Amino acid sequence: MENLIKEDVTRMLSIMGVQPLNEAYYQECSRFFGDKEKLQVCKRIASLKSWLHKDDGLGMKGIINDKLTDLKTDVPDNLKEKFINAANLLQKLGKITERQKNNFINNRVNGAKLIYVDGEWQPANKLNTNYSDIAELITDLLYRGGDNARPFIDGIIVDPKSGLLSLKKYLPRLVGRYFDDSKELLGYTKNIQRSSDIGEVAENEVKSKLEEMGFVSEYTGGNGDLIDMVFGTDLIMSRNDVGTKTIQVKNSEWAWDRNEDYNNVDWVIIANPFTIYDNKTKQKVEL
């Protein structure tokens, strides 16, 4: 079954032009293939999904945020200018208010502290809420504990939530001990990178298709794009007959939750197959 899944995912990525991060990595916990127990533990942990990072769950979001603090810096000046210009455009288009724009600039652009390496946004900025990568981190942490961790490992195999709750009060100290160098956490982003790669390919495909249809790009996001994170806008494209449109891009129909609010978006565009939807009516747009 695992081989069939791998073949399907590899085929899909190949069609989309995305190269897998490595030959074996195609789903959560793939780093533990070849070790059945570690793979089982990781899968059991990952099954708890967002509970892993929530404050009223295991609380890993706060622990990871604290651990990564020393790696965070200001947003690079060139990106600040890009985000501020985009926010000004959104206000001009009537998608956000002046107050929203100013809050965004002051708190999310000028006031933000994020992880950049050589000016490049790092996937570890999303580690605090990505349950798949958090599950892999916790699994490695457990096995670094040796014999002392065996009761916790056995407990997680039986009942992952109860097993992790028995470990919860020790987690801040254990993360500090077994991941002494906070840069090591940068390696727990394979699931984030996989989904980001697919999303970036989808955005590029949609942008190219719209440009073929006579649209001009007014704004293009990318990995770590604060305009997308805050306002749900991946692209801003314009054409004389339809005006300027703010766009959220989805790779496929199943990736679009129609109940999700994109208050600042005109269109939701599906990359595969290429389909434009009006965000308010959820009806197809024919051009």
pLDDT the model gives residue 8: 46
**Interval 73-96 mean pLDDT:** 96
Strand ranges, E, within the chain: 72-73, 114-117, 120-121, 216-220, 235-239, 243-250, 267-270, 275-278
**Interval 177-205 mean pLDDT:** 94
- Tens-place pLDDT, residues 96-113: 999 999 999 999 999 989
Chain position carrying tokens 């107050």: 99
Q: Is residue 132 helix, strand or coil? A: helix
pLDDT the model gives residue 115: 96
* pTM across the whole model: 0.84
**Interval 219-228 mean pLDDT:** 93
> Across the chain, what does the average pLDDT equal?
91
Closest CA to 32 of 148, 138, 179: 138
Helix 150-158 vs helix 131-144: angle between axes, to the nearest 10 degrees?
Answer: 140
Question: Residue 263 is encoded by which pair of tokens?
Answer: 């208050």
B/e letters for 188-212, b = 16+ CB within 10 Å, e = fewer, are bbbbbebbbbbbbbbbbbbbeebee
How many Å is the Cα radius of gyration of the chain? 21
With cut-offs at 50, 70 and 90, classify the pLDDT of residue 225: very high
**Percent of the residues in the chain that have a pLDDT greater than 70, as a whole number:** 91
pLDDT at residue 258 greater than cutoff 90: no
Cα(21)–Cα(199) distance, rounded to whole angstroms? Answer: 15
pLDDT at residue 136 greater than cutoff 50: yes
pLDDT at residue 5 greater than cutoff 60: no
**Interval 228-237 mean pLDDT:** 96
Helix 150-158 vs helix 36-46: angle between axes, to the nearest 10 degrees?
Answer: 60
